[in-house]
Amino acid sequence: MNILFVSSEVEDLAKTGGLADVAKALPLSFNSVGHDVRIVTPLYQVSSNVESAVTILENVELHAGDTIYRYNVKQTKLQDVTVYLVDYPDYFARKGIYSDGYHAYDDNGERYAFFSMAALHLAQLLEFKTDIIHCNDWHTGLIPFYLSKHWSDNPYLANAKTVLSVHNGAFQGIFSLDSVPFLQKSGVNYEDIHHGSVNYLKMGVRYATKIVAVSPSYAQELQTDLGSHHMGDLFRSRSQDLVGIINGCDYTQWNPETDKMIPSNYSADDLNGKAFCKANLQQYSHLPVDGDIPLIGMVCRITDQKGFSYLIPIIENILHHNVQLVLIGTGDPELVGQIQAISDRHRSKFYFMNDFSLSFSHLVTAGSDFFLMPSLFEPCGLNQMYSLAYGTLPIVRAVGGLKDTVIDLEADPINANGFVFNRPDSEELLNCVRKALLFYHEYPQTFEVVKKKAIKTHFNWHDSAMKYEALYRSVV
């Protein structure tokens, strides 16, 4: 199949989050089984590894309503996959991808409306006879609409079907129609406009051939009022075309046997290196170096989505136990301030790094005994997959991809690889942490068995790609 994979960010080129990981891993997997897959992404000022990119289309004209865009397309390679970089400096030559670091760019609606149109335009210009256009999140949500309204008769796109992956439905791309002048003249239907604004994610869900949530549980949650981010009616109306496919994990980067960012490698057959990593983490975090004290790690953005509204009130309750806590992340200044105050009061037990360091996140993942992810919602989640690979047992809420990847010790002792709680409240989270700590102290031999089981729990991109391939074939 000929697959056009369109994403606002791609690992190794430009990245803000998990979308970039998917936008690299899935195309590479498709390529490995013989599909002709081409990635389309913007050329940002902050893009990396693009020095050798070659201009293949120069000063081409794209007519959008009364606006005429003149842009270039550069080509590079991501391993064996061709990448087309949409080069339009007015929109993409900025110091950030979506924001200046503090505020989202005012013209994001216009930027990604243009990018979505350019992706279709370049497929035509490069004569790429497309079977599948894989769109990702709100940034490319207009592509299914554009295709149905303006490109359905194009010889290179006439048979193309669209698949929209919803990585995080909380971010929807809602913009005033007045702020995207050419969109007003593109045939937007009455039902696509709400109080003068257009919701790009809703447009994608409404017009895409198929919709994919990034885990089976998230696909179900998107059809509920509580978990749909106010789009429940629309997702329910598309239930026959909505599926959930869990993301894979990049074990070339996250493997305790080969990880160069941790002080000692280890495996399920020899866990000695994990104890050394724990001692190293304790030392780095200025905590007492003691292998018998259970250590809970967290690596995440400091936002309400990650469960801090019900975690912060019980952190000190957790610290009343013989335990250590290490947390690394940046985010909401108010939440950060509350966390920092608790850490300052309990420096012998709680180390908080208000920063992000990839190497330290690897050390936290390897050196901790437990990995805490009490998310309010988590479409897929990757950190729980990383922690499992490192034998660091996840403590998670039964939501989204966390529910699909972590098996609770009480619910299924034979297959368990972590600890799971249900309600998003402080009491239930505290009880779950206490169960984990009790298990650590009371059943050390069984704890080692579960750690080894966790290390052998794998979520491979090839398996995910095969599910996407089956979905593609069902519509082509």
pLDDT band at 57 (very low <50, low <70, confident <90, very high): very high
Instruction: From residue 427, give the alpha-carbon distance in Å to each of 316, 318, 349, 439.
Output: 13, 11, 21, 18
Angle (CA) 444 448 452, round 5°: 165
- For residue 183, pLDDT beyond 90: no
- For residue 420, pLDDT beyond 90: yes
Average pLDDT of every residue of the chain: 96
Q: DSSP assignment, residue 457?
A: -
pLDDT band at 365 (very low <50, low <70, confident <90, very high): very high
Averaged over 314-320, what is the pLDDT? 98
Q: Which helix (H) or strand (E) holds 318?
A: helix 315-319
348: how many CB neighbours lie within 10 A of its CB?
10
**CA 141/CA 115 separation, integer angstroms:** 11
Total-model pTM: 0.95
Helix (H, G, I), strand (E, B) or coil at 227: coil
pLDDT, tens digit (0-9, with 9 covering 90-100), for 194-226: 999 999 999 999 999 999 999 999 999 999 999
pLDDT band at 188 (very low <50, low <70, confident <90, very high): confident
pLDDT band at 191 (very low <50, low <70, confident <90, very high): confident
Q: At what angle do helices 200-207 and 108-125 cross, to 10 degrees?
A: 40
283: how many CB neighbours lie within 10 A of its CB?
13
**CA 380/CA 136 separation, integer angstroms:** 14
Q: DSSP string covering 116-182, please?
A: HHHHHHHHHHTT---SEEEEETGGGTTHHHHIIIIITT-TTTTT-EEEEEES-TT---EEEGGGSHH
- Give Cβ neighbours of residue 47 (< 8 Å, ≥ 6 apart): 13, 14, 85
Averaged over 383-401, what is the pLDDT? 98
pLDDT at position 181: 84
- Range of weakest confidence among 5-14, 114-123, 177-186: 177-186
Sort strands 197-199 and 193-194 into parallel, antiparallel or unpaired: antiparallel
**CA 102/CA 105 separation, integer angstroms:** 9
Structure tokens at 18: 């998990």
pLDDT band at 286 (very low <50, low <70, confident <90, very high): very high
pLDDT at position 66: 86
pLDDT at position 463: 96
Give percent of the chain above pLDDT 70.
100
